[in-house]
Amino acid sequence: MGVKSITVYAFSIDNMNRPKDEIDGLMGLAHDQIVQALRHSGMVHDHNVQFRCVGDLSLAPPKIRDGIAKLESMTKGHSGMMLNLAFFYSGPAEVEAAVRAIDVDAEDPIAAVNEKLWTAASGPPDLLIRTSGEVRLSNFMVWQAAHASTIMFIRRPWPALRLRDLVWALLKWRAVR
C-alpha cells in the first residue's frame, strides 16, 4: 500500500498527570511489550523494519530507556518501513525542542524546525488516524498535522482497534490520494 512509516502514540507527556499506580501499570505494560519485541526480533529483521522512539525519553524509567535503545540499535541499519513509537511525547514539547535546536538565523525557519522534529526521519505523515471517537488530535503530531494529506477519526478506542479498521482507513486514504 506504499506505507513507509507508522507512528503509534503510545504515551503522552500529559499522562504524567495520572495517578502514580496508573502510570506504573502503563510502564509495566510498555516494558512487557518491549521485552516481547526483543524476544521476537526475527520478525522485525525478516521485514526489515526500523524501530525508532520519538519523545522525551529522559522521562522514561531506565529499564524502558534501555529496552528502547536496544530495539533502536538492533534495527538501525534496516531500510524497510519505519515504526515510530511516540512515547513520553507531546506535539507542543516536540515543537519546543525543535525550535530550541534551530539556528536563530536560519534562512528558512520552517524548514529548520522540520529538520529538528523528533519525527523528522519519517517526514510528514500521509495519514493520521485518531481513535476513540474523539475529533481532536490530543497534542499528537500537531505540527505535522498541518502537512498531513489525510486525517481520519475512528470511533473505536485504540486497544479495541481491529485489523479491518486499519485496512478500511488505508483503503480510504488510498482513494483520496
Is the model more confident about 27 or about 10?
27
**CA torsion 104→106→112→116, rounded to 10°?**
-40
**The pLDDT of residue 165:** 84
Query: What phi and psi values does residue 33 have, to the nearest 5 degrees?
Result: -65, -40
- Mean pLDDT over 48-66 rounds to 94
Confidence of residue 41 (pLDDT cuts 50, 70, 90): confident
The answer to which of 5-9, 13-17, 27-31, 141-145 has the lowest mean pLDDT is: 5-9
Q: What are the chain's domains?
A: 5-176 (3.40.1180.10)
pTM over 0.85: no
154 pLDDT more than 80: yes
